[in-house]
A and B are shown apart, each in its own frame.
Chain A
Amino acid sequence: MKKHPLPDSTAEFDKMLTVSPNPHIRSRETTPSLMLCVIIALLPAAVWGVYQFGLRALMIMIVSIVSCVCAEALSALVLKLKFSINDLSAVVTGLLLALNLPVSVPLWMPAVGGVFAIVIVKQLFGGIGKNFLNPALCARVFLFSWAGEMTYFTTPKTALPLFSSDIDAVSTATPLASLNAGALPGIPIIDLFIGKQPGCIGEVSALLLLAGGLFLIIRKVISVRIPLAFIGTVFALTYFFPLGDQDVHYAVASVFSGALFLGAFFMATDYTTSPCTPIGQIIYGVGCGALTVLIRYFGGYPEGVSFAILIMNLFVWFIDKYTKPTPFGHVKPEKPKKPKKAKGGEAE
């Protein structure tokens, strides 16, 4: 009579059922899937870095990622945190750190940086989602303790040893050095956009970083607000207040130089260390852009993106607090309004 496979005892059947509060369905997006999107978006710039700077760049990425993942696993054990390697966030941190280093750094530097980023900046604050500074950027700034290595940029396509830290190539100035001196860089702007200038492994190609950023925006992993506000502010400030007697070329060159695109699309948009309200994200982006230009113009080190983002990271809670959206139907002192004339027309 009964067609469904109902066991004889109700108790047995009921043991198979889960009774839990609604909602009973979830979107298919998970933390690992979002992190995977970020990794995919970073790949073009990473591949370009290897193409421009040689296999040593790949070696740095590997060391950095392995260091981050191992640090995450070991610290989770020691600190009794959730085992979280499979959320791929350590891989993203490692990759971002490597992309933020010059190719000539000795290989122990990405290793030390990775441990610093994961253990000190992230895990000691409670793991993923609890840190208030961007781990990869913090590690990069930490590595500035070895300022010589961190500011030693070689020309692209220079043959470098794969493992040895014995670099005999000549250090060269990045385009930012001439920009901050009030002159246009010697490299044509189109080459800056494609990424043929010296610089950190992953920051040179604005084109490929833009492609990765657009991928993230289309997949709705990040919103366009932070990158647009960040880059827009840098462009506006360098356009209206150029160093020296420069025209729009100066602003365009400023935008395509240094770590701006990497920072705006991949570092400033780090979920944990950026505001989550729409207005807050715009304020944060503008703040990052303004600080970047200030540090570039007046700071001792030519690049300001990392410092700007880290400084703005510290303001995230206050930005969120003061840009809190008004709840729907928030009770104001005055009497509620009566419905006005209905908006919209008849259905088709």
Chain B
Amino acid sequence: MPTPDQATRVVQEPPASSLPPADAPRRLSRTAWVLLGLSALVLASVALFLTWGVDGHWDFALPRRLEQVAALAVVGTAIAVSTVVFQTLTHNRILTPSIMGFDALYALFATVLVFVLGSAAVETMNPWVMFSSTTVLLLVGATALYRWMLGDGSRGLYTLVLMGVIAGTLFGSVQGFLVRIMDPNEFDSLLDQLLPSFGDLDTSVLALAAALMVTGVVLAFRLAPTLDVLTLGRERAVTLGVDYRRTVTRLLMLVALLVAVATALVGPVTFLGLLVANLAYQVTRTHRHVVTMVAASLIAVVALVLGQALLQHVLHFNATLGSIINLVGGVYFILLILREARA
């Protein structure tokens, strides 16, 4: 039997190498194949997106499109990782962070901004100021909300989620009230912000968002083994040495950061996380978060890039990416609920 001291040294390695090397060859090769296949899909969809209908204007089209791909990757990864983490914390595969009142908080913030400053001021605001203030507000708001909800840690996670739903409804009602007494022209401009859009991105903001996203995702991967243990449930995690309350608080803040980044960048994209997380569980069939988080991120990037390509070249911008995601995601959500009800 090993002594504890020998075994406590944890070596940080890149995610892929932490898969079990020898004990499950069939499963390992399956996981490897799935991740390889998804990576190939990412490359193919990005290549398609970059080259579709360029017509020789390469020096104009390529930088602009690369920028869009980067934005889609940042948003996709942030949404995918945050949803997987959130679903592990709640032990529920049809919940997304937006149920904790996230989207509603964002909508409220955007509405208050337009209501107080007027649409003209908001539209001409420095994108850095806009992005940072939105991210910070969402992060602070969500963290304060969680601190208060978590209390002394004796409330269960379901109570927490319920309080999130109530908070979301409250934010939604206040926002609805503001919209009702708002000037119709102002509301028109507000609508642009409330609907997710990948069209008008600012590169400087994108770099900041990418940095925040990478920070959050690295933290999530460092906590992946702990997330694996959390799938066993609170009690077993505690008996295996997870400091439950501290860990959950940390992970919820991580989720808050990632969702804040994605939402501040493009607006609320609720269903994407649900869609990609569940597809990832289906294709990987493993409880290991290192694998599911990578797979979900890859699927998210594919979905967003293909969706955007479709939007530009087939629908000719006659819809938004958000509405496509919500259409596909909504149908999938209903299928999920039907399947859960039957099982």
Q: Do A and B share a complex?
A: no
Seen from chain A, the residues whose Cβ lies within 8 Å of a Cβ on chain B are none
